[in-house]
Amino acid sequence: VNLRALEPLGLSAEQALALGKENMMPEMRRHIDAARKAKRDGITVLQGDPYQSSLFAFPELWSPVAMRLHGNPLAALPAADAFVWGDGTIPDMATGLAEAAREIMTHARRPFSDQVFRWSATGWTLAQPATRQP
């Protein structure tokens, strides 16, 4: 949606984004519940749902998962329909996530990135730079 399309609706870009997040919240909560129940001793891949990568836009929902992961979730967004994450306290988890992201990207219809991010309640920050394979 561009600004011109929002004018007839009487919405600013900020209002449209807030409304979109509000509309997606129930579905994102469902994905977080699944993530919370997943094993926590390895890399978890959530894939196949076109909204999977939207989990990145809802850091506030990750608090229950973060508590299980010693407050240190790491994640990558390798594709539009994929989200990979794991416990950042596990040695080499960031490297493993980047490798998993690259593998997913090789088969993805809409690949994103192999960059790994660290969670906080206010957002995700870059944990390690991407390492591109030649």
pTM of the model: 0.77
- 112, 80 contact by CB (below 8 A): yes
pLDDT of residue 134: 43
- C-alpha separations of 107 from 15, 39, 116, 129 in Å: 35, 24, 19, 22
What does each of the 134 residues of the chain score in pLDDT, given as a tens digit?
788 888 888 988 889 888 988 888 888 888 777 776 766 678 888 888 887 788 888 888 888 888 877 788 999 999 999 999 999 989 999 999 999 999 999 999 999 999 999 998 888 999 865 455 44
Cβ-in-10-Å burial (0-12, 13-18, 19+) of 10 comes to: exposed
| CA 74/CA 85 separation, integer angstroms | 5
